[in-house]
Every structure is written in C-alpha cells, then in structure tokens.
Amino acid sequence: MSHSEDGLRPEEFSEAAEAAIQDALSRAAEDLPGTLAAAGLLGVCATQADGGLGLDLDFAVPLAQASGRLRLRFALAEQMLLARHLAGTAFAAPLAQGQTLATIAWQGQRDDGWVGHARRAQDARWLLVRHVQGAVLLDVLNAPQKTETTLDPENPQTWLDVRQCPVLAELGADATAALWREGAVLMAATAHGAADAALTAAATHTATRVQFDRPLSARQAVRHWLSRMKLYHEAGGAAIARALERNEWGSPREPLPALMLNLQYATFIIEKAIHLHGGMGFTWEVPLHHALREVRKIDAAWGGGGLPQSVGQRFIQTCKG
C-alpha cells in the first residue's frame, strides 16, 4: 500500500470515504454525484489539474469496497477510472467534479452496434466502449436504449445502440489495457465490499436469532458455513491486495485471477447469507438480494463463467517454451 504526499494511507481515506458515501445515500438521488465529488471520491485518482486528488489506484480500492458494502447505486469505480484515464482531456474535470456521469461498457465493441454490460448506463451521458485496439468515449445522450429488468428491476441492465453516437475522445491500446486492468481490480473490490456486508449481516443475524433455545450460530453447521464465508472473503481480499502490487520485475500483476475469485466468492457469500437468513433472506425486507443482483451483473459484464477459462488459457500460454 502506498501513502499520499501528506502521509495519508488508503485505509484512513477509506473511513472518510465511507462516511461520505453514507452522507450521499441520505440525500436526494440528484445530489449524490455532487456529494461524492465534494468529498473527493470521484476524482481520487484524477490529476490535481483536473480537480482531483492525484492519488494512486490503491486509494480507489477501499472506495470501491465501500460502494459495494453500502450498496451505492452509482458507477463509482467507472467514474473514478475515467476521471483518471482521461487526464489531459477536457472530459476529466467534469467527471472528477461530478458534473457529468459516465460509465464503461466492459463487453462489446463500438462496431457491434448494441453494447451493454455498463453499470448505470441509463444515467450516463458518456460511455467508454472498446473500438479497434483501443477505446472511444461516446456521447450517448441520444442513443436508443433497451432495458433488461429481469435480473434487477430497480436497477436494470441497459443496452445502447452506439452506432450514431459522436466520439468525444479516444484511448490508445496501451491506455485501454491499463484502464481495463485497473477496472478488473476495482470491480473485484466492489464485489468484495458487497460480500463483506453480506457476511456481517449473516454473522449478526445468526448470532441473535434464537431457535431451539440457542443462537443459530452456536450450531456447528452454521458456524462452519460462516467460517467458510470468512475464509473466501479473506482470500479474495488478499488477492486484491496482491493485484495492486507490482511483481518483482516492476510490472503490473495480472488482475483477472483476483476478479475471478472475488466474483465467485462474493456470489457464494451473498447466496449463503441469504440462506442463513432463512425465509427473510428470500424477501425484499433484507437487502441482500440487491447485493446479489449487483454482483451477478458485474459477473455478466466480465464474461460470466468465461473468466476462469480466460485465466486458464493465459496460464497455459505462459507455459509454452
């Protein structure tokens, strides 16, 4: 983990960020971007010239975790990344300051026509989408939209026809690869945060819910489920921390294994948390279903079951003499 110039550590920044997100969640939806921006969250990794804090990616990780933990309905990771990677353009400052909302289509190419798998695309004015070897930032104000509400009726997946959208900026192949690498880390962190909240909720509920004269978590079967959830949560967090560090040759580490683990483990933890809540877990009274829907959407955006195969193929390739 790094420090900022004034000695601030990511975990310390995280506490303030969590409070800021709590504050934003208590306000009207239209005030949310401004509140997050005022707390420095949207521009945490943007340059100071763009109104950001100029901090490293490891400062964005706890923010993404907090957004997952608090079920923030805002594409925080994407906004932070775009404000960082569009540095030097006219688009970074409005993103860092929360004046314009943007998101990223993690799958699909501009030439595909319809692209999706972009969180909160329905709220975004700008959309980054892959194009040829790099990516383009599009103005999607007038793009035709289709929404898919089956998985998440309150926060649906949105598809946009981007064929006629004006191009605002372009990113080269290397810049796009770097953005996608960091995106994988922040999506892993978002899922990890969602799992954290689910684990805490399950541990709290089973410690207080008395059945057959004992708290549920006094039963070995329940204790072992919770321990396994904790195990996977710790392993996922450790993988994220590792993905942030450079390898011994100074190169960035491959983040897809960390993303793969965290999507699998977050799904497992949230599903088990729902199970351990019994009938209540199956209802809208307990917010676990929101977390499950969000993690499933991130998983879909990054290829669903295709991630392990992609990671496996890359490893096999590295073994070829």
Partner 1 sequence: MPTETNLPAGRENYRSYARTWLSAHLPQHMRADSLDYRSPTLEESRQWEAAMYKAGLAGMTWPTAYGGHGLSLREHLAVNKEIGALSMPESVSSIGKELAGPIIMTVGTEAQKQAFLPAILNMENYWCQGFSEPDAGSDLARLRTRAVPQGDGWCINGQKIWTSGAAKAHYCLLLTRTGTVADKHRGMLMFAVPMNTPGIRVVPIKSIDGKESFAEVFFDNVLVPDEARLGAPDEGWSAAVRVLSIERATNRMYRAWRFESELGFLVRACQSDAQLAHLLDDGHYQRRIGQVVGEIDGLKGLVERTVSQLMQGDEIGARGSLTKLYWSECHQAFAGLAQSIVSQVTPASSPLAQRAQQAFTQAYLFSRAETIYAGTSEVQLDLIAQRILRLPRE
Q: Which residues bind partner 1 (CB under 8 A)?
A: 203, 206-207, 214-215, 217-218, 220, 223-224, 226-228, 230-231, 234-243, 248, 257-258, 260-261, 264, 305, 307-316, 319-321
Residue 158 gets the label, from left (phi > 0), alpha (psi -120 to 50) or beta, of beta
* Beta carbon of residue 186, minimum distance to partner 1 (angstroms, whole number): 17
Closer to partner 1 at the Cβ: 43 or 255? 255
Closer to partner 1 at the Cβ: 164 or 313? 313
* Beta carbon of residue 189, minimum distance to partner 1 (angstroms, whole number): 13
| Dihedral pair phi/psi, residue 54, rounded to 5° | 65, 30
Cα–Cα distance, 137 to 174 (Å, whole number) = 16
* Beta carbon of residue 188, minimum distance to partner 1 (angstroms, whole number): 11
Strand pairing class (102-109; 126-131): parallel
Closer to partner 1 at the Cβ: 125 or 228? 228
Closer to partner 1 at the Cβ: 3 or 223? 223
* Beta carbon of residue 234, minimum distance to partner 1 (angstroms, whole number): 5
Task: Kindly report the number of other CB atoms within 10 A of residue 224's CB atom.
Answer: 10
User: Which residues neighbour 211 within 8 Å (Cβ) at sequence distance 6 or greater?
Assistant: none
* Beta carbon of residue 213, minimum distance to partner 1 (angstroms, whole number): 9
Tokens 């496996």 belong to: 312
Closer to partner 1 at the Cβ: 132 or 241? 241
Cα–Cα distance, 164 to 27 (Å, whole number) = 35
Residue 213 gets the label, from left (phi > 0), alpha (psi -120 to 50) or beta, of left
